[in-house]
Amino acid sequence: MILVVLEHDGARLRKGALEAISRARQLAMGPIAGVVIGENTQAVAQEAAQYVPVVYAAEVGPYTAEKWAEAAYAAVEKSGARVVVATASRQSRTWTARLAYRMKAGLLEDTLESRAEGEQILATRYSFLNRVTERQRASLPVVLTAKPNTTPPAEPAGSGAVEPLEVRLPTGVEVLERLGEQRKGVSLTEAAVVVTGGRGLGSAEAFAGVEELARTLGAAVGATRAVVDAGWRPYSEQVGQTGKTVQPNLYIALAVSGAVQHQAGMNKSRYVVAVNKDAEAPIFKIADYGIVGDVHQVLPALIEAAKKLKD
């Protein structure tokens, strides 16, 4: 039995949840059960039942790692699952660690692909700040998280049953305040094209051009840490070791130096484009195409050229 923990936004399953179901199916280790944890779980569990035959709904309120681990563990006990699959969101990577410890399981974190071989699971993942690809192996029980955008989302497979799941709520963490960040436009981690601005743009105002190019290309806007630290862009746009990891078809870095910590978030992009006035900037070493020049002159010209192409 495999248990899939299904992430949702309180109304719908997230894309990552459908990717996790695909991963569970790929393992082909017998029946699959799902669990929906959090708020408004009944409605989401109904949606989830189109994909898996049994869905547990654990109504536990706002997220804490403790509650998610407790609910997932209750679902493991109820289903008898020896493999748990979840999407490798930042939150999941916290509670799955608690769960794996409790299950005395091997934890395969942030995997790119995975397959079963008898009582073992083999997986690949990146390590060393995304510079190394490694193959790993663990014996059951296993907790596995799937890196977003590495697996095609699952298709519906019939209609399953929803069962409520009682969870003993742990204490210790009390949520006082949620500080939301508005998400507009294309989501950064899912975008096929990302346009990132760096400190070389010189000001928050200069990002109007970055946004315009992104709009023209249907892209998401990214930022470097230097830009976020300067307060020009919100942290939710930061790409890198301590920001988001992206892997789009096209990554355009404008006035970005290409520090290793930034590379850790984007070096697996299919094509990398850089605009920088310094021909020696490290970003050019990992770029497929580049323009050596002043971003204030090149960016407006790029917007024009992109618009012409789209017309």
Partner 1 sequence: MKFLAVVRQVPDGESRLRIEGGRVDLSGATMILDQMDEWAVEEVIRLQEKHGGESVVVALGPERAEEALRTALAMGIDRAVHLVAEGYIDPITQAELLAEVVRAEAPALVFTGGQQADWDAQALGPALAEALGWPVVSWTTQIELEGETHAKAKHDLDEGAEVVRVALPAVFTSQQGLNEPRYPTLPGIMKAKRKELKKLPVTAQSRVEILEQSIQERTRLNKLIDGKDPVAAAHELVRLLHEEAKVI
Ligand X SMILES: Cc1cc2nc3c(=O)[nH]c(=O)nc-3n(C[C@H](O)[C@H](O)[C@H](O)COP(=O)(O)OP(=O)(O)OC[C@H]3O[C@@H](n4cnc5c(N)ncnc54)[C@H](O)[C@@H]3O)c2cc1C
* CB of residue 302 to partner 1, shortest distance in Å: 4
Regarding 294 and contact with partner 1 (CB under 8 A), the answer is yes
CB of 160 to partner 1, least distance (A): 27
107 binds, among ligand X, partner 1, none (CB under 5 to 8 A by kind): partner 1
184 binds partner 1 (CB under 8 A): no
Binding flags for partner 1, 189-218, as an x/- string (CB under 8 A):
----x-----------------------x-
Give the shortest CB-8-to-partner 1 separation in angstroms: 12
Residue 259 sits in the site that holds ligand X (CB under 6 A): yes
- In angstroms, the CA 1 to CA 3 distance is 7
Q: Does 277 bind ligand X (CB under 6 A)?
A: yes
Query: Between β-strands 250-254 and 193-197, what pairing exists: parallel, antiparallel or unpaired?
Result: parallel
Contact at 8 Å (CB) between 247 and 269?
A: yes
- Among 173, 185, 204, 208, which residue sits at the site for partner 1 (rule: CB under 8 A)? 173
Peptide bond into 300 cis (omega under 30): no
Q: What would the DSSP string read from start to end of 120-162?
A: EEEEEEEETTTTEEEEEEEESSEEEEE-TTSSPPPPP-S--EE
Q: Among residues 46, 51, 41, which one has the least CA distance to residue 72?
A: 41
| Count of CA atoms in the C-beta half-sphere (13 A) of 129 | 11
Q: What is the DSSP letter of 93?
A: H
Site residues for ligand X, window 198-237 (CB under 6 A)? 198-200, 224-227
Specify the stretch interacting with partner 1 by CB under 8 A; choose among 31-39, 155-163, 201-209, 300-308.
Answer: 300-308
Cα–Cα separations (whole angstroms), residue 115 to 23, 28, 45, 92, 144: 9, 8, 26, 20, 11
Does 69 help bind partner 1 (rule: CB under 8 A)?
yes
Query: Does 311 help bind partner 1 (rule: CB under 8 A)?
Result: no
Residue 288 engages partner 1 in binding (rule: CB under 8 A): yes
Residue 148 vs 200, nearer CB to ligand X: 200
* Cα distance between residue 73 and residue 90, in whole Å: 19
Q: Which is nearest to 18 in space by CA: 153, 128, 159, 143? A: 153
Out of 21, 27, 265, 272, the only residue in the binding site for ligand X (CB under 6 A) is 265
The span of 23-31, 112-120, 184-192, 195-203 binding ligand X (CB under 6 A) equals 195-203
Nearest-angstrom CA–CA distance, 301 and 285:
24
Residue 19 one-letter amino acid: E
CA dihedral 3, 8, 12, 16 (to 10 degrees): -70
Interacting residue with ligand X among 130, 151, 216, 238 (CB under 6 A):
238
| Among the listed residues 2, 144, 276, 284, the single contact to ligand X using CB under 6 A | 276
Q: Contact positions toward ligand X, by CB under 6 A?
A: 198-200, 224-227, 238-243, 255-257, 259, 261-262, 265, 276-278, 281, 294-296
